[in-house]
């Protein structure tokens, strides 16, 4: 698969482009609103074609698919424009500003017969896959879980603090924690959340939520830009537990592990270094080639966004909110 990249965002330059190059696929074009910047980055990364507009790349470049890492508030507009060009789309998380917009995006792409997949790379790490297997097949009834993702964001001009671009800690970081708790515990029925805007920026710089499940289980999620970097999850069942750290952003050269205990027997499993972005790209390309639904499909993305919507509504209203069904 030949990929085009829109924007010269750090995640594209530092993660996606190297991941694609490690795979059997290739990056054949990059576009920026600044043509000189696109040309400079193309030169640095050995990308053969550079464009000073996204539209020109869609029309002229030798590409099959586009990676969209634009700010959250621009995902829908440009995903639709990519779809109009008949190109498949790998779109960064969170896929949209809310679940309604996400549903519109998926319907729009389906009408144009192109594949749209949300880029939750951590779901493709073997450690994540094994953790889900342990929780599902080895632990007993799960009663509670927790997940946190934080780091200090000191740049007050960062787009993640811009409400017009759908910034906020829940959108940027909390979407991972919601995804993880849904992976392990299923779909929550209700949520309760509290948030704070410690930078007076117009977005949440920290948010804590509780997810309630039909079984009576609960999960706590936390995201924030105010405290040092931390990323972890833990699941507790009637007969044991599972936990891990560095769960969302493990580097391609990093050995990682999970630890779990079942009926008093404690186990640690280590996982050799792997690039989850590469595995994400390979899965996306394989799904497109086979004409199959990707692992992160419309249902998965809509359900994750629905929980995020409910958390924001709860934080604003100060009361428990029921999650919309998708």
Contact 30/4 with Cβ under 8 angstroms? yes
Q: Tens digits of per-residue pLDDT, 257-309?
A: 999 999 999 999 999 999 999 999 999 999 999 999 999 999 999 999 999 99
**What is the β-pairing status of strands 206-212 and 190-196?**
antiparallel
Q: Tens digits of per-residue pLDDT, 114-166?
A: 999 999 999 999 999 999 999 999 999 999 999 999 999 999 999 999 999 99
Q: Is 89 helix (H, G, I), strand (E, B) or coil?
A: strand
Q: Give the per-residue pLDDT at 299.
A: 98
Same domain, yes or no, for 145 and 212?
yes
Q: Tens digits of per-residue pLDDT, 228-245?
A: 999 999 999 999 999 999
Mean pLDDT of the chain: 97
Instruction: Indicate whether 284 belongs to any domain.
Output: no
Domains: count for the chain: 2
Tell me the three-class secondary structure of 192-247, residue by residue. Answer: EEEEECCCCCCCCCEEEEEEECCCCCEEEEEEECCCCCEEEEEEEECCEEEEEECC
Same domain, yes or no, for 83 and 156?
no
Query: Would you give the DSSP letter of residue 324?
Result: P
Give the domain-ending residue among 67, 101, 119.
119
Closest residue by Cα to residue 211 from 233, 241, 243? 233
Closest residue by Cα to residue 114 from 267, 276, 284? 284
CATH of residue 62's domain is 3.40.50.720
Q: Which domain holds residue 213?
A: 122-278+294-322
Q: Tens digits of per-residue pLDDT, 116-125?
A: 999 999 999 9
Same domain, yes or no, for 112 and 145?
no
Q: Tens digits of per-residue pLDDT, 28-43?
A: 999 999 999 999 999 9
Confidence band of 254 (pLDDT split at 50, 70, 90): very high
Q: Tens digits of per-residue pLDDT, 22-76?
A: 999 999 999 999 999 999 999 999 999 999 999 999 999 999 999 999 999 999 9
Same domain, yes or no, for 187 and 302?
yes
Instruction: Indicate whether 283 belongs to any domain.
Output: no
Same domain, yes or no, for 154 and 244?
yes
Q: Give the per-residue pLDDT at 112.
A: 98
Q: Give the per-residue pLDDT at 221.
A: 98
Same domain, yes or no, for 145 and 18?
no
Closest residue by Cα to residue 242 from 250, 251, 232? 232
Structure tokens that stand for 203 in this block = 């977005």
Same domain, yes or no, for 62 and 182?
no
Closest residue by Cα to residue 157 from 126, 199, 127, 129? 199
Confidence band of 217 (pLDDT split at 50, 70, 90): very high
Same domain, yes or no, for 29 and 164?
no
Confidence band of 183 (pLDDT split at 50, 70, 90): very high
Instruction: Indicate whether 247 belongs to any domain.
Output: yes
Residue 93 falls in the annotated catalytic set: yes
Q: Give the per-residue pLDDT at 161.
A: 98
Same domain, yes or no, for 91 and 160?
no
Instruction: Indicate whether 102 belongs to any domain.
Output: yes
Of 25, 93, 125, 127, catalytic? 93
Same domain, yes or no, for 246 and 195?
yes
Instruction: Indicate whether 287 belongs to any domain.
Output: no
- Arithmetic mean of pLDDT, 306-322: 98
Give the domain-ending residue among 86, 119, 152.
119
Alpha-helical regions (H) of 35-121: 35-45, 54-60, 75-84, 99-111
CATH of residue 233's domain is 3.30.360.10
- Placement of tokens 């990707």 in the chain: 294
Give the domain-ending residue among 119, 134, 157.
119
Same domain, yes or no, for 128 and 41?
no
């Amino acid at each position: 698969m030949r990929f085009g990249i829109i924007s010269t965002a750090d995640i594209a330059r530092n993660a996606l482009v190297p991941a694609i190059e490690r795979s059997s696929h290739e990056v054949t074009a990059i576009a920026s609103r600044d043509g000189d910047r696109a040309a400079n980055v193309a030169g640095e990364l050995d990308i053969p074609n550079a464009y000073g507009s996204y539209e020109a790349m869609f029309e002229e470049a030798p590409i099959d698919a586009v990676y969209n890492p634009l700010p959250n508030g621009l995902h829908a507009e440009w995903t639709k424009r990519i779809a109009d060009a008949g190109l498949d789309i790998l779109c960064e998380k969170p896929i949209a500003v809310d679940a309604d917009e996400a549903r519109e995006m998926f319907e729009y792409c389906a009408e144009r017969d192109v594949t749209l997949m949300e880029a939750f790379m951590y779901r493709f790490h073997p450690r994540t896959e094994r953790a889900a297997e342990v929780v599902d097949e080895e632990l007993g009834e799960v009663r509670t879980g927790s997940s946190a993702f934080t780091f200090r964001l000191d740049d007050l001009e960062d787009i993640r603090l811009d409400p017009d671009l759908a910034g906020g800690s829940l959108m940027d970081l909390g979407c991972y924690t919601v995804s993880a708790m849904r992976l392990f515990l299923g779909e929550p029925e209700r949520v309760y959340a509290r948030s704070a805007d410690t930078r007076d920026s117009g977005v949440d710089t920290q948010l804590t939520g509780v997810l309630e499940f039909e079984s009576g289980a609960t999960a706590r999620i936390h995201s924030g830009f105010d405290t040092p970097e931390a990323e972890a999850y833990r699941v507790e069942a009637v007969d044991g537990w599972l936990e891990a750290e560095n769960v969302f952003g493990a580097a391609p050269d990093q050995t990682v592990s999970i630890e779990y205990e079942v009926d008093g027997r404690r186990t640690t499993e280590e996982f050799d270094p792997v690039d989850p972005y590469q595995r994400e790209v390979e899965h996306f390309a394989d799904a497109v080639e086979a004409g199959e639904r990707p692992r992160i499909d419309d249902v998965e993305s809509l359900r994750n966004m629905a929980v995020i919507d409910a958390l924001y509504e709860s934080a604003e209203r100060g009361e428990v909110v029921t999650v919309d069904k998708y």
